[in-house]
Structure formats: C-alpha cells, structure tokens
Structure 1
Amino acid sequence: MNAPRQGLFASLLIVCFVLQTLLLVIATTHQLKENRASQGQLMTSQLITDSLPEMVPANTVSLALISNRYATNPSVASLRILDANQQVLATAGLERTRTGEVFSRDIMQGERKIGQVELTLIEPSIGEILRSEWLAMTLSLLLYILLWLAYRLIARPTRSEYLNRLQYENELKQQIDTLKNALENTSNPIPVNQPTVEPEQVQVQDVNESVNEKTICLNIQFYDPKQLLDSVSQSVAQSYFHLCQLFLNKAITQCAQHYNIAVDDFVIHESFDANGATVHIDAEKYKDAECLMMICAVFQMLADVLYRRYREEKRFVLHTRCAISSAVKEMQLDAIPAAKRLTQSLTSKESAVYVNHKFLQSMTQCYQLVTLPHPTNALTRHAYLINGMNHECADLAQRMRTQILKG
C-alpha cells in the first residue's frame, strides 16, 4: 500500500531543492559583492596611507614590502602601485591570473597626484560558492528526504481504504468481463430494432431524410490523432467495435424506456466501425431530443469506464467524441452529414449539439452549453459544447450507466 503519487511529490521536492539552491547562490553572490566593495574601499584607503611617505622620492623596496604585506590577504588577486607617470613601482599578489573586481584610487599629496594604487579582489565562481555552502545544502537535502519519507508514511492509505479500492476495481473488472462475454456469445450483433427494408425502400428513405427537417442525428466518432486504428489487427478492432455497439444498444434501450419512447423510433444508420456510429430519430417533441442527449451522455460515461479499464490492462482503446445535429438549411446539409461534420470539429470526450431554437431553449434548463471556439461555418457558429448537466440529469445518467454495467 504505497502513498499516492509518490513520484510526483518527489519531483516537486527536487524542483524545490533546485530552486532553493539557486536562490542561495544568488543571495550569497549578492552578499559577497557588497562585502567585496566595502573591503576594496577600505584596503585601498589603508594602502594609500601606508604608501604615501614612500612615494616622494619613490622607495621601491619599502613599497614592495608594503605590497607583499597586503597581498597575504587570501581575497587579493593582485596589487600594483604606480607613480604619476603610470610606471609600476611595486607589484604583488599570489593569484595574478585570477579575474576579479578592480579597485583603483589616486595617491594625492595635497592637490597633486603623485601615484595610483590598483587592487584586484578575487570574485569567487559558482563552484566555490557551492563548496562554501555545502553544509546548508546538505541539511536542506536531508530535510527534503525526511519530508518525502514522512509523506510516504502519512499519505499511505489505510487498510480499509486499500481493501475498498480493490473491491471497487474487482467489481469494475467483473462488469467489463460480463460485457465481453456477452459480446463473444453474440457472433453477429444485431443493431437495435434496425428495420429491414428493400433497396427501393432505402432509396425512398434517403430522399425523405434529405428533406426531413425533424430528423435529429447522433454521431459518435473515435478520437484517434495518432492513427492507432491502423496499427491494430482487424480482429482486435472488430472486437472493440462490437463492444462499443453493445454499449450504444444498451444506452438506447435504457433511455428509451425512461422517456417512454419506442425503441423502434431510433434508427441506427451506421453501426460501429472505424468511422464511428450514427443514430437518428424524427423528433416530434422535445423529449425525443432530450432522450438522444441522454443517450449521448450515458454512452460517453460508458466509453470513459471502458477506456480507463482497458488502459490499465494495456489493451487497445480510444477516446470518443459525440455530436447531435439537425438539418442545416444554410449549408444544405441534412442531419446525418451535419452531425458528422460537427463531430470532426471536436476533441476527445467532447460533445456538441446543433438543434433548432425551440429545442435549444429547453436544453439550457438541463445542460450547460457554451459556444464552440473558432467557428468556421454556419454549423459550428450556431452549435454548442455540452459543458455539463444539472444534478437531476447527472444522477439519471449515472444510474443508467451503473445499470448497464451490472446488466
């Protein structure tokens, strides 16, 4: 029973330690710079005071001794005493090749310049600063290690929480296995009440649909930006499509029973394949459109459960996206192609709707709708993203999802 997100917490502690070390180096550099400025001003003043008696006439031996005495300071890189003509009278320093901050002042006798002193103080590198602060950094590292160990101990779930989680995962796995077994026992799944018609009747139906403004269509597509469907075998893909179709069939049945709508009213225009699935209904009343909205919500919940379970088992699965649309007169599109085009403008787990104004006003009482970003045509300009639902609808969708998973 490990604490949740130990790696994330450890990464956060590492980032905090790096930032603290960076701030420590910046603060130390600033403090050393201020100390170096004060030390440089003080040392040049003392050096001028000691050198002034030996400048006129210039006593190079005494000036050399004075320079060597100041150069014994470990912070001094180099030191030079020059006369008024910039001729070097004395020089000293143990690390003359080191760069640093240079302090230069004139040696004045009254108002006459008789010489100059140049003092270079060593500017420590970042490595030297880190070596000087090793104790503070070590203590900080130990503190962060203790915090991580304390988090592992405190955030570790109790035995009852661990057992409840195992029980929930086992129940979820059993529900998925039940659905898989039902799928395997059905070699040729039959779409929900899809009527059998003759070819001539199909042509008549297509013509009627193209002019039927009452039709509302639900289109479901897979969100597959990495083209994973092309990389799996046909048997794996077909098994996955059949399971998605089983979810859709059960969602239609449950929602139709709740809203007292005949299941025959829902026509599965296209069963699940690589391009998704399409369901439409001739909506005479608002409850027809509301039922289709609930089918969309329940299916998205079921797809999300399937995605999380299959991802844990390292199996092929994709996110889905859904759109509900009626005919678009401005673009001369009937409901089915309009729903497909609207779905293509969505990303994973998103749902959108385009219906007439009368239905739209009623939907706003149950669903939170927001406009689509960056519309490009009349369809996306008047369509809305389903951003949430009220408590009653959410509770109903969750109950239906649970019933389907247990069924």
Structure 2
Amino acid sequence: MTYLAPRQGLFAIILLVSFCLQTLLLVISTDQQLSNSRAQKGEQMVAQLIDEARLSLENKDRVSLSVIANRYTSEQDVTRILIKDNNGDILVPVGNAPMQQGDTISQIATKGDAVIGSVALTLKDISKGEIIAMQWPFVIGTMLLHLLLWLIYSYIARPTREQINAISRDVQDLHREQYKQFDQRGYDRELERRQSAPTAAEKETGESDGLGYDVDSLLDSQLNPQADASALHNPLSNTRKLDIHSAVNQYVRTQQNQDTALDANDTDTAASNTTESHAINHAVDSSPNGTKGINSSHQPNNASRLSATRPFDSISVQIVFHDEFNMLERLAPSQRLPYLALCTQLLNQAVTELLKQPLLLGVSALNEPYFDESGAYVMLKADNSHAKVALAGVMLGKLYLMLNKIIHDKHIELSRFALPAKAGVSDNAQVEAMSQLLESVGKKEQMLILLPNGGLKQISNHVQVQSVMRPTTVYERECAIFDGGNDAMIQRLADVRNAVLMIEEAAE
C-alpha cells in the first residue's frame, strides 16, 4: 500500500501562497518601472511640443496647434492634450480618450520672460492584467516550478517502511494501554460492588475462602520469598494483594458453585468440594514450584470456555440501555418505574409471541425477564436437539430492538423520557464476556453475537454478521455484529412486532 507524504495539502497551500506572492511582487516591480519610464517619456514629449507650438501659441492659432497636438496623440500612451493661453483659457483639447484617468504632466510655455501659455499631457494607466500578459512566460514558468516542487515533495517525503512499522507499533501500544486502563476501572468497580453487597452464598463459603487465600499465599511465598519480606514493611501493598486474591478466589468459587448446582445435588457438591480441596493440597505439596498442579486443574475449564466447538443447549439474551450520561439514575422514581414497567411488558410479550413461531419449535424461556437500571436478561433453552435456540436468541434480540426503536421515537416525539437500547446474544459460558463487550464495544441499536460454531451454523442461513473493527481481545475477535437478515426472517419479525404492538394498544 502506497502512503501519501505527511501534510501534503498544507505544503500545497504554502506553494500556492508563494506563487501568489511572487506574481504580486512581479506586478508591483513592473508597474513601478513602467511608471518611471512613462514619466520621463511624457516630460520629453511636453518639452518638444512647447518648442514646436511656441509661435502658434503666441498667435493663438488654433488650427496650427490642433495639427501639432494630433501628431502626439497618435502615441498609445497619450490619452489627452490640453493647450491653454496665458489667461488659462483652453485653446486646443485633443486626445484618444479624454475621460480616461491617468498621470498628467503640465509645463508652462514661455518666450523670454513672458508666459504665453501652458501644455498639459495625460498618460494612461497600465492595468495589472496587461502587466501579467506581458510577463506570461515568467508567470507560467513559476507555476510549473511550484508544481514540480510539490510533486518532488510528494515522492520524497513519503513515509518509509520502518516509519510505518514504528507508527503501527505506537498505535497498538496506545490502544493496548487504553484497554488495560478500561479493564482496570471495570475490575475495580466490580470489586467494590461485590465487597459492598456480599451474598449469602459467599458467606456460606467463608471457610473455603480462607483455604483459597492460604493456598495462594503459600504459592506466592514459595515463588518469591523476597516479596514476603518487603510486604512486612509495606502494609498497603499487603492489603492490595489480599483484595486481589480474595476477588479471584471468589470468582472461581462462584463459577464452580454454578456448574455443580446445575449438574449434581448438594451431596455430590460437598463430595466434589472435598475432593478438590485434597487435590489442591496434594498439588501444592507435590509440585516443585507450587503452581503447576493448580494451573493444570484450571486449564481444561478455561479451554472449554474459549473453545469454538464448546457444546451449548441454552442461550442468554442481554438487553441494556445505551445511557451515556446516566440519565436513568437521575430520573425520578415516579417516571423511572413506569418506563421500566413498560419495557418489561414489551419484552415479555415479545418472548411469548416469538416462541409461537413454528420455526422456533422446541425453544422455551427459563425465566420471566424484567428491566431494572442495568437492563434485562432472558435465558432460552432447547428442549430437544433439533431446536434452533441460537436463532431464537438472535431473533429475540432484534425483535426487541425494533420495538424499542418505535417506543423511543414515539416518546421523543411526545417530549417524554426514553433511551435507545443494545442487545447481546451469547451462550451461558460467555455471559460475563458479553456484558463487558456491550459496555466497551456495543453501540446503540446494535446487537452483538458471541456463539460457538454450532450456534453460528444455526443462524448462518438467516442472518448476516460482520466482525468487530480492530479487535484488542480474544472475545472481541470472536464477537460478531448483526448486519441484517434475509427477507423471510425480517418479514417474520415484522409480523411479530405488529402483533406485540396490537396487544399493547388493546391493553391500553
């Protein structure tokens, strides 16, 4: 790819200004030279005219004066000649353009010491256009020279391959640094929220918290004994490390509790926790560096979450408000609660009407969604292997965006409060990743899709998607943006939308 020279337009403007200044200086200097030469020529012509017309002027012979003056008006520079007697009366007024303005040269005619009259000769002004027409070779040459300089600069000042690579690295580092700062702020907010509102499940697992922190502390002390010595003298750093370990252990335990609650009963959960605790202790005691066993135990779980071929039988649809200025939080409860109730009613009716479609046979909703300040969450489940649960999630997200668009425009028309929305469709393994993508990448009236290959295969014949521009994380690279659907699906969504709105109008 060929890159242009930097600030090529600015350099062209500078050359244009230079060309205009050179042309202006040329016109000024040429005009000054011509004015001086014409003044000298005019004085010579007046002196010569007085010498020739002295006798006729003394006798006030108008015919002779006219003949003599007409010879001088044949010159192109002379526009008018006035010959006056000693009393100031005009004897002969002749000229090619008597009304034209110009430089006038006057001289008194004398004979001895007696004044016999005066002669006034007017020379025409030379226009700037005539000067440029006379100097056209210089003007065209200067213009071609400036154009050549611009072409030379455009070729020489192009960035080299090394400069392009350096700029690319700087831009990548800048984006990476901004994304790290954004992730850190999001992590701090999540940590504060978790610490300020602990759940009952976290209180019940307090003992395992202590075990997890002891294991991590033991690993850190084995890997870096000098850090323990410095932590004794730096209590602030020690407290920060405690918060990080607690947050990581809390997140791991929450995910493990959710998985075991879906797959086994309470007895099996207790047995698996006991087995996992023995496995962790055995890994710490037997591993040379104290970390190999734990990393290997978590590696299959992480791999399954990031795998493109991971199995799924349920889909989550997240709908959030595009509230850039936190207007919903500042809204009075008397206005906020009815608006959220309206959004909840629309979403429930949309789920009910959409799942009646024959195309989505075998798909059911596991929860009754409701809207709050953070949005709404719908979980769809496939009752059999032939149910198109991924397609149902995508259609539900697009359907609500269509409904919210109509409600938003109507409210704005009536000068009422309303917010645009954005949606995200993912499997259960990527719910948290989709929440982060909606916050960082999602735009208003846009739907993000984060599904494994099986889900993408279900929707490939019905919708079109596009990739995220310039992804910076693994999830952004796997994420797709809804870019349209085929005619059959759009018509089906339009029919469902009209049915929901008719139900809404009947209810009102």
Normalised by the length of structure 1, the TM-score is 0.51
Q: Report the equivalent of 1:349.
A: 445
Q: Report the equivalent of 2:240.
A: none
The separation in 2 between residues aligned to 1:301 and 1:378, in whole angstroms, is 30
Q: CA deviation at 1:224?
A: 2.0
Aligned residue for 2:388, secondary structure, equals helix
In the alignment, structure 1 residue 390 sits paired with structure 2 residue 486: yes
Aligned partners of 2:103 and 2:122 also within 8 Å:
yes
Q: CA deviation at 1:393?
A: 0.8
Q: How does 1:208-227 map onto structure 2 within 5 Å?
A: 214=312, 215-227=314-326
2:473 to 372, 377, 383: 377
The number of residues matched between the two structures is 249
Q: CA deviation at 1:364?
A: 1.5
Aligned partners of 1:217 and 1:339 also within 8 Å:
no
For structure 1, the residue ranges without an aligned partner over 5 or more in a row are 1-39, 83-88, 105-197, 328-333
For structure 2, the residue ranges without an aligned partner over 5 or more in a row are 1-30, 54-68, 70-77, 83-92, 107-118, 132-199, 205-253, 263-300, 504-508
Aligned residue for 1:365, secondary structure, equals coil
The separation in 1 between residues aligned to 2:394 and 2:325, in whole angstroms, is 29
The separation in 2 between residues aligned to 1:223 and 1:356, in whole angstroms, is 26
Deviating more after overlay: 240-249 vs 220-229 = 220-229
The separation in 2 between residues aligned to 1:230 and 1:80, in whole angstroms, is 84
Q: Report the equivalent of 2:141.
A: none
Aligned residue for 1:303, secondary structure, equals helix
Aligned residue for 1:257, secondary structure, equals coil
The separation in 2 between residues aligned to 1:367 and 1:102, in whole angstroms, is 66
* Higher relative contact order (CA closer than 8 Å, sequence separation 6+): 1
Q: Aligned-residue CA RMSD in angstroms? A: 4.3
Q: Report the equivalent of 2:398.
A: 297
The separation in 2 between residues aligned to 1:309 and 1:364, in whole angstroms, is 33
Q: Relative to total residues, which structure has the larger strand share, 1 or 2?
A: 1
2:45 to 47, 51, 54: 54
The separation in 1 between residues aligned to 2:387 and 2:121, in whole angstroms, is 98
Paired-residue identity, %: 19
Aligned residue for 1:225, secondary structure, equals coil
Aligned partners of 2:420 and 2:445 also within 8 Å:
yes
2:366 to 245, 263, 266: 266
Aligned partners of 1:71 and 1:79 also within 8 Å:
no
The separation in 1 between residues aligned to 2:323 and 2:433, in whole angstroms, is 20
Q: CA deviation at 1:101?
A: 2.9
Question: Structure 1 residues 397, 65: closer, same or farther in 2, change over 3 A?
Answer: closer
Q: Report the equivalent of 1:318.
A: 419
Q: Report the equivalent of 1:136.
A: none
Question: Structure 1 residues 398, 375: closer, same or farther in 2, change over 3 A?
Answer: same
Normalised by the length of structure 2, the TM-score is 0.42
In the alignment, structure 1 residue 340 sits paired with structure 2 residue 435: yes
The one-letter code matched in structure 2 to 1:216 is: I
Q: Report the equivalent of 2:26.
A: none
Aligned partners of 2:362 and 2:387 also within 8 Å:
no
Aligned residue for 1:376, secondary structure, equals coil
Aligned partners of 1:326 and 1:339 also within 8 Å:
no
The separation in 2 between residues aligned to 1:262 and 1:400, in whole angstroms, is 16
Aligned residue for 2:435, secondary structure, equals helix
Q: CA deviation at 1:289?
A: 1.3
The separation in 2 between residues aligned to 1:261 and 1:73, in whole angstroms, is 100
Q: How does 1:3-402 map onto structure 2 within 5 Å?
A: 54=45, 57=48, 59=50, 65-66=80-81, 72-73=98-99, 76=101, 78-79=102-103, 101=128, 204-205=257-258, 214=312, 215-258=314-357, 259-261=360-362, 263=364, 265-268=365-368, 271-283=370-382, 285=386, 287-326=388-427, 334-344=429-439, 345-402=441-498
The one-letter code matched in structure 2 to 1:235 is: S
The separation in 1 between residues aligned to 2:388 and 2:353, in whole angstroms, is 14
The separation in 2 between residues aligned to 1:54 and 1:279, in whole angstroms, is 104
Aligned partners of 1:216 and 1:335 also within 8 Å:
no
Aligned partners of 2:80 and 2:123 also within 8 Å:
no
Aligned partners of 1:218 and 1:323 also within 8 Å:
yes
Q: CA deviation at 1:231?
A: 3.9
Question: Structure 1 residues 71, 236: closer, same or farther in 2, change over 3 A?
Answer: farther
Q: CA deviation at 1:351?
A: 0.9
Q: Relative to total residues, which structure has the larger helix share, 1 or 2?
A: 2
Q: CA deviation at 1:400?
A: 0.8
Q: CA deviation at 1:56?
A: 6.4
Question: Structure 1 residues 65, 394: closer, same or farther in 2, change over 3 A?
Answer: closer
Q: Deviations over 1:109-166 (max 9, x none)?
A: xxxxxxxxxxxxxxxxxxxxxxxxxxxxxxxxxxxxxxxxxxxxxxxxxxxxxxxxxx
Q: Which has the larger radius of gyration?
A: 2
Q: Deviations over 1:309-344 (max 9, x none)?
A: 1111111011111111125xxxxxx33212212222
The separation in 2 between residues aligned to 1:339 and 1:232, in whole angstroms, is 27
The separation in 1 between residues aligned to 2:50 and 2:340, in whole angstroms, is 100
Q: Deviations over 1:200-255 (max 9, x none)?
A: 9xx75476579896242211111122433244212211111111111111111112
Q: CA deviation at 1:363?
A: 1.0
